[in-house]
Structure 1
Amino acid sequence: MRPTRTDLTQQSTRGGIGASTLRPDGGLKVTGEFAYASDLWHEDMLWGHTLRSPHAHARIVSLDTAEALATPGVHAVLTHADLPAATRYGLEVQDAPVLADGVVRHHGEPVALVAADHPETARRAAAKIKAVYEQLPVVTDEKSATAPGAPLLHPARADKHAPHVPHPNVVHCQPVVRGDVEAARARAHAVVTGDYEVGMQDQAFLGPESGLAVPAEDGGVDLYIATQWLHADLRQIAPVLGLPEDKVRMTLSGVGGAFGGREDLSMQAHACLLALRTGRPVKMVYNRFESFFGHVHRHPARLHYEHGADRDGGLLFVRCRIVLDGGAYTSSSPSVVGNAASLAVGPYACDNVDVEALALYTNNPPCGAMRGFGAVQACFAYEAQMDRLAAELGLDPVEFRRRNAVSQGSVMPTGQVIDAPAPVAELLRRVKALPLPPERQWETAGGSADLRALPGGVSNTSHGEGVVRGVGYAVGIKNVGFSEGFDDYSTARVRLESVAGEPVATVRTAMAEVGQGGVTVHAQIARTELGVAEVTLQPADTRMGSAGSTSASRQTYVTGGAIKAACEAVRERVLELGRAKFGTYHPAWATAELLLEGGKIVTDGGEVLAGLADVLDGEEPVEAERVWRHRPTEPFDLRSGQGQGHVQYSFAAHRAVVEVDTELGLVKVVELACAQDVGKALNPLSVVGQIHGATTQGLGLAVMEEIAVDPATGLVRNPSFTDYLIPTVLDTPAMPVDILELADAHAPYGLRGVGEAPTLSATPAVVAAVRQATGLPLRRVPLRPEHLTGTDVPA
């Protein structure tokens, strides 16, 4: 078989698709030289600060800003009354106030803004604002949200909620119904029922919210910002400022992590408002306390599941109800509900399904996008159920999963056919076949103990006498890209020119690089398609067409597709130029398939016809801009949940090995092995890094990460990294990875979104392993020591 153009280019162009090229920003980040948004500086800038509500639900009786304004060094104080135009924004529904308008609905809601010539001056001045509140009853769970006479958190929308939504305090409700659950239940040999709970997880990115707004001479503003979605920010900010979008120019600054927490606005509009009011540049940087209040979190969830199977282990029916706490404002809760509902059964074939998923308005912190986006919560519950059902049937839990695994051609509960590889059974086989780590690793030949290998770690709280090992498995399914009819696209512009006698490609998109590695992969695509070594990526800003959000595992798929399409257009133009200049001298120009390889135009047989620099010499740069869309999706039916809602599915399986000190309630995760189908590993090193990162966040949800909210008051108890725990290098286990590459014919290069699926399966795998070690039911995450010692075991 004749090699394809891509095969030839990979062989000849260093750093193309399939190569583990190093990140251009990697060295700068690990040495501390990378410029993050918090490092922004302007010669005459002011500092902005936000006054936030100390209550979860209260009426603002009065706001006295006189003393704050009189503070030396203060240049402006803004409240809701000072807003020049639109007063609300939001990703899907414009219901979040820019500044509180008479009522605060969650702890930490922005109430007023201060601009001063020093950050401490701004903080002290904000503390001088005299805010008088009248506390109101709080809504913190489904019972208090939907009870007769419950306070309506958005009374203006009470008569406008959709007919399928049962109560004004319900953001969105999505059923998925297929087959006949009652008839299937009557035939079931084994039925298991369980109630599960998932705590509120924070994205816990290390770089806080930060940005710099600079007023412009044309009356507009330039905003340099750490965000995930430049154009969505622009769409929300411009109406608030009362400006046309072309006068709000946004440029991406260094982003210190995101994971969904930067999809919604935080300080973007606030900094711009202060800059336009004062006529001075204004910088805002949240401290860690502010950051916990300044962005959305993962929806906490309560889930009720019922599974039934026949005598041979065939899954007969699944019935479930998923209640997500959306907090005070809509954010992306409707889409999270759609994901949770459509993926509620997991990667298992089942003909009889009855799912209800909904999200609530409460006075808890707003929740929205976080890595896994509704599928994480469902996966924890359905995987616990699969273990319980396997035990009820006397089957090996991995074998039971493999018997029921979906594959290419399977029909999802929404009626959508999986039309790409779905190697769920193979992933489970591979992850189970990996060798297990040795037991009692803290013991050495000399008899001394390696404390790092003990539950409790270097604090030496366990000596290993009562430590029990457990092994657990889980697999998950996650959609890729935006779903339910969203017009998901990206834009890319590519230029090829001769610089100092060498061909150089320049790629421009509005993609937000938040640490996922797009800056590496996008250059690799250009090298592959254009056959050149030198590729420059221009900064992302809103002067370029939208690239959508860096979320939903979509950027390599969609923006990569746009770059590939733009490169193809450039390549065709270059070949036209070459034929016009040199084609008359060689018959191969007309008869052979022409390739760009190593800065040259060659035939498919490898014969060099011309150098790219020679073709481009004396010519204007060759440039092309392309918009690329994946195939369309459609909304789920609001009564049945049927519909072609997703563009692609991704799958990952984990095996967790844990050691548990059951007397002290301590868990040591020894290993989290993962097998994942990535379609095509465009950069294998980056793929493994994404899997490791997602696995670690799943580990965090399993054993430590939770925002604690007082159920009586709605107040956040632990808004700091002192009290909100995240995994460190001492908590991170060995993470062997087995990568499959089964191409999806609908995607560029056959790739499949990578970065979310491992977050799903890591959490239930860890908990399954702890269950095996302890024999406890463990139906809530994160696990706490009291859950493991028998002093507080959830039912």
Structure 2
Amino acid sequence: MVSGIETRQSRGQGVGTSVPRPDGTLKVTGEFAYSSDLYLADMIWGVTLRSPHPSAWIRSVDIGPALAMPGVLAVLTHEDVPGEKFYGLEHRHQPVLAVDQVRYQGEPVALVAADHPERARRAAEAIVVEYEVREAVVDPRRAAFDPSCPTVHDHGNVLRHQPVRVGSDFEAPVVVTGEYEVGMQDQAFLGPESGLAVPAEDGGVDLFVATQWLHVDRDQIAPCLGLPPERVRLSLAGVGGAFGAREDLSMQVHACMLALRTGRPVKIVYNREESFFGHVHRHPAWMRYEHGATPDGRLLYVKAEILLDGGAYCSSSPAVVGNAASLGVGPYEVGNVRIDAYGVYTNNPPCGAMRGFGAVQACYAYESQMDRLAEACGISPVEVRVRNAVSQGSTLATGQVIDSPAPLADMLRELASMPLPEAAGADLLDMPGGVSQTTHGEGVRRGVGYGVGIKNICFSEGFDDYSTARVRVELLGGEPHVLVHTAAAEVGQGLVTIQEQIARTELGVDRVTVAQADTSVGSAGSSSASRQSYVTGGAVKTACEAVRERLDALRADGSSLVEALERAGAVEETREYRHRPTFPMDPVTGQGDSHTQLALCVHRAVVDVDVELGLVKVVELAAVQDVGKIMNLSALEGQIHGGSAQGLGLALMEEIQVTDGRVLNPSFTDYLIPTVLDMPPMRVSILENPDPHAPYGLRGAGEPPTLSSTPAVAAAVRAATGLPLSRVPIRPHDIVPNG
């Protein structure tokens, strides 16, 4: 603390305290304004026509019937895109509107603007598109390894192959092998894609949108509109969840095109079914693993082949492949590694970022292998993990040294020492199937399972990962007031509150406002990779320190803060914050310091399974997580609970069913997510072992629980049933094949 300025930490509102969220009451009472609530008196509505086919040539598009309908103001196709016709996060090859072909079911083909949303929908349905259906590439294994397979893109079906090579001794007295599969999970956010585009007097456009990454959205939108970036202004609207699905564009360019064409504000809101087609999903995965160890369970080698289905377009798949490869062994010390991770194109739905980002899929496989190894060696699942656990100073498979605390063995011992829940009572709510009275306990068996996950925090592999913060202190109503302005997207994780807490801690001023995130301030990057507390928190802290230095100079004569501000007026500073550099993985060996920070979480799951009916009830989840520094305890606990719930969903119920490239269950009626009745009580232990390289020593915390909860639940079901269960989600027919 710099002399002369009291910190708010000591007064109960700074870093480390559970400050209430400013949006909390509004969200609980239903008064919070989400992007789908946006309204202007003269706005019109946009609707997207989408392909019904996963793979086809477009032979003709007749928009005449739609234009003839009353209330229709515009109908646009790819010919109306005013600038570049393609966009993308890593490779700009995804069309704004399909040009000559479609590569997945739901690909946008045409746009309609009308004075009423129902008129717009009917007009879209009136557009006549002639398709020539062709063979769809739907098997990622064939896409990757069969030379006779058709190519989804001219440059081939493999979008990235990342090997990891360490050592050469692949012999061991104990060998366990397994093949594992992870289904396609949806982010299942509650607020569908939506936004409002408003044409501006300068010929540009103002877009109010629910997104995760304002500046990268703008940098993709502007070229497609044929406009310079400064004439495409984005402001963050209320976001109803994200989990990675809002990193990619959805309706952004479409709404802007319609607004510029009609000269009217245009609102687009997807319904739930369209949302399933309008955003990326978690990559389904097929994995083969072989672990070699000594008879007492110490790892000698790991071999793995990891295949990720990226779907029709690139999105962030190369980075997902990099994560799966670099973290594919898990948080274990092993001297010999041979990993081959692949991402491939298919005509299945596009896949990209989702909480856990490539590490989730690998974690399910390597943790399943650790359980098999424990059984083969005759030791407990906890002990086999303890014997191989990394610690500070350990070297990962990529050659990167863990240079901050990593007390994994202690975390596992603490988890194992937690008391187990009591046996189920007679209450039907305690039984698998609940009040449906499908069982009274005759065939119920209990199982306990463990899972460990390691997740990279912040962007990796040489990405210029930074955030910008502008901090202003001035007198309002005679009292000091702080205004914090960043472009960091609040997507439900509590980032606005963290920025307030940092400003109070660093400046000692009670009244803090966080401005609406927009592109009038420098980029803050994406609200993903558990990075915003680290980089935007670091930017706010750094900007506050610069402001504080100036304020201390103004107060060198012993004057009060109010007196100094009365003389100087506002004091404002803008700062960028970057974490230490990372480096790309070597394309042949996979070596390199590709990550800036690593986080650990361990889970224990207790389940009751009716082995006669295939029903599963998760009785309890227990977790131990090291977060470096608790910034806001209540928000942190929410992140751990939420991540655990998504991992539970992947283990037991969540999967987009895709057959021949077609989505069969695009609704929350058929795509199941955990409810309050599915989510069990949680016992959570939070450790604080500061990372010396991070602001306040914090460690990103939102993603790690999603990794380890899935294999823990799956292991518990295996323990209850005695079945191998090598695929998630686990379905009733997996437990009772002939039931």
With the length of structure 1 as denominator, give the TM-score of the two structures.
0.92
- The reply on whether 1:658 has 2:607 as its aligned counterpart is yes
2:45 equivalent in structure 1? 47
2:184 equivalent in structure 1? 200
1:707 equivalent in structure 2? 656
For 1:139-150, list aligned pairs within 5 A: 139-145=137-143, 146-150=145-149
- The reply on whether 1:738 has 2:685 as its aligned counterpart is yes
Superposition deviation, residue 636 in structure 1: 0.3
Amino acid at match of 2:501: Q
Residues 358-402 of structure 1 deviation map (CA, whole Å, 9 limit, x = unaligned): 111000000000000000000000000000001100011101100
2:309 equivalent in structure 1? 325
Amino acid at match of 2:25: G
1:464 equivalent in structure 2? 441
- The reply on whether 1:120 has 2:104 as its aligned counterpart is no
Partners in 2 of 1:91 and 1:11 — Cα distance? Answer: 39
Q: Which secondary structure state, in structure 2, belongs to the residue aligned with residue 635 of structure 1?
A: coil
Residue in structure 1 matching 2:511, options 525, 534, 537: 534
Partners in 2 of 1:6 and 1:774 — Cα distance? Answer: 65
- The reply on whether 1:191 has 2:138 as its aligned counterpart is no
Partners in 1 of 2:161 and 2:698 — Cα distance? Answer: 32
- The reply on whether 1:310 has 2:310 as its aligned counterpart is no
Change (3 A) 1:463 1:29: same
Aligned 8 A contact 1:313 1:403 in 2: yes
Change (3 A) 1:433 1:222: same
- The reply on whether 1:719 has 2:719 as its aligned counterpart is no
- The reply on whether 1:476 has 2:464 as its aligned counterpart is no
Q: What percentage of aligned pairs have identical amino acids?
A: 66
Partners in 1 of 2:460 and 2:678 — Cα distance? Answer: 35
Amino acid at match of 1:734: P
- The reply on whether 1:172 has 2:160 as its aligned counterpart is yes
Partners in 1 of 2:587 and 2:92 — Cα distance? Answer: 22
1:32 equivalent in structure 2? 30
Amino acid at match of 1:147: D
Partners in 2 of 1:192 and 1:116 — Cα distance? Answer: 61
2:711 equivalent in structure 1? 764
Residues 513-560 of structure 1 deviation map (CA, whole Å, 9 limit, x = unaligned): 000100111100000000111101100000110000000000000000
Residue in structure 2 matching 1:423, options 387, 407, 412: 407
- The reply on whether 1:555 has 2:532 as its aligned counterpart is yes
1:670 equivalent in structure 2? 619
Amino acid at match of 1:173: H
Change (3 A) 1:365 1:6: farther
Superposition deviation, residue 4 in structure 1: 9.2
Superposition deviation, residue 7 in structure 1: 13
Change (3 A) 1:387 1:6: farther
Aligned 8 A contact 1:308 1:317 in 2: yes
Q: Which secondary structure state, in structure 2, belongs to the residue aligned with residue 9 of structure 1?
A: coil
- The reply on whether 1:152 has 2:151 as its aligned counterpart is yes
- The reply on whether 1:697 has 2:660 as its aligned counterpart is no
Residues 172-229 of structure 1 deviation map (CA, whole Å, 9 limit, x = unaligned): 110011111xx241xx121000000000000000000000000011100000000000
Aligned 8 A contact 1:13 1:532 in 2: no
Q: Which secondary structure state, in structure 1, belongs to the residue aligned with residue 109 of structure 2?
A: strand
Q: Which secondary structure state, in structure 2, belongs to the residue aligned with residue 409 of structure 1?
A: coil
Single out whichever of 499-508 and 668-677 deviates more from structure 2. 499-508
- The reply on whether 1:283 has 2:267 as its aligned counterpart is yes
Q: Which secondary structure state, in structure 2, belongs to the residue aligned with residue 617 of structure 1?
A: helix
2:210 equivalent in structure 1? 226
**Count of residues paired in the alignment:** 738
1:244 equivalent in structure 2? 228
Residue in structure 1 matching 2:729, options 772, 778, 782: 782
Q: Which secondary structure state, in structure 2, belongs to the residue aligned with residue 122 of structure 1?
A: helix
Aligned 8 A contact 2:445 2:720 in 1: yes
Superposition deviation, residue 647 in structure 1: 0.1
Partners in 2 of 1:36 and 1:463 — Cα distance? Answer: 44
Superposition deviation, residue 141 in structure 1: 1.5
2:196 equivalent in structure 1? 212
Q: Which secondary structure state, in structure 2, belongs to the residue aligned with residue 477 of structure 1?
A: strand
2:637 equivalent in structure 1? 688
Partners in 2 of 1:13 and 1:282 — Cα distance? Answer: 46
Aligned 8 A contact 1:37 1:253 in 2: yes
Residues 65-111 of structure 1 deviation map (CA, whole Å, 9 limit, x = unaligned): 10000000000000111111100000000011100111100010001
2:339 equivalent in structure 1? 355
- The reply on whether 1:639 has 2:627 as its aligned counterpart is no
- The reply on whether 1:626 has 2:575 as its aligned counterpart is yes
Residues 581-607 of structure 1 deviation map (CA, whole Å, 9 limit, x = unaligned): x24xxxxxxxxxxxxxxxxxxxxxxxx
Aligned 8 A contact 1:10 1:18 in 2: no
Superposition deviation, residue 489 in structure 1: 0.2
Partners in 2 of 1:201 and 1:402 — Cα distance? Answer: 30
1:82 equivalent in structure 2? 80
Amino acid at match of 2:305: R
Partners in 2 of 1:501 and 1:46 — Cα distance? Answer: 44
Aligned 8 A contact 2:656 2:664 in 1: yes
Superposition deviation, residue 431 in structure 1: 1.2
Partners in 1 of 2:258 and 2:5 — Cα distance? Answer: 54
Residues 607-666 of structure 1 deviation map (CA, whole Å, 9 limit, x = unaligned): xxx431122123221111000000000000000000010000000000000000011100
Aligned 8 A contact 2:395 2:401 in 1: yes
Aligned 8 A contact 1:509 1:538 in 2: yes
Aligned 8 A contact 2:55 2:347 in 1: yes
- Structure 2: 5+ residue stretches without partners: none
Partners in 2 of 1:769 and 1:4 — Cα distance? Answer: 52
Q: Which secondary structure state, in structure 1, belongs to the residue aligned with residue 7 of structure 2?
A: helix
Partners in 1 of 2:504 and 2:392 — Cα distance? Answer: 32
Partners in 2 of 1:666 and 1:177 — Cα distance? Answer: 42
Aligned 8 A contact 1:9 1:528 in 2: yes
Partners in 2 of 1:215 and 1:502 — Cα distance? Answer: 38
Residues 668-697 of structure 1 deviation map (CA, whole Å, 9 limit, x = unaligned): 001111100000001111111100000000
Superposition deviation, residue 8 in structure 1: 7.3
Residues 227-256 of structure 1 deviation map (CA, whole Å, 9 limit, x = unaligned): 000001001000000000000010000000
Partners in 2 of 1:429 and 1:520 — Cα distance? Answer: 34
Residues 255-294 of structure 1 deviation map (CA, whole Å, 9 limit, x = unaligned): 0000000000000000000000111100000000000000
- The reply on whether 1:134 has 2:135 as its aligned counterpart is no
Q: Which secondary structure state, in structure 2, belongs to the residue aligned with residue 326 of structure 1?
A: strand
Amino acid at match of 1:275: A
Aligned 8 A contact 1:349 1:410 in 2: yes
Partners in 1 of 2:128 and 2:3 — Cα distance? Answer: 69
For 1:506-585, list aligned pairs within 5 A: 506-579=483-556, 582-583=557-558
With the length of structure 2 as denominator, give the TM-score of the two structures.
0.99
Aligned 8 A contact 1:13 1:533 in 2: no
CA radius of gyration, larger in: 1
2:471 equivalent in structure 1? 494
Q: Which secondary structure state, in structure 2, belongs to the residue aligned with residue 368 of structure 1?
A: coil
Superposition deviation, residue 132 in structure 1: 1.1
Partners in 1 of 2:2 and 2:648 — Cα distance? Answer: 41
Change (3 A) 1:126 1:454: same
Aligned 8 A contact 2:8 2:510 in 1: no
Amino acid at match of 2:666: P
1:595 equivalent in structure 2? none
Aligned 8 A contact 1:193 1:385 in 2: yes
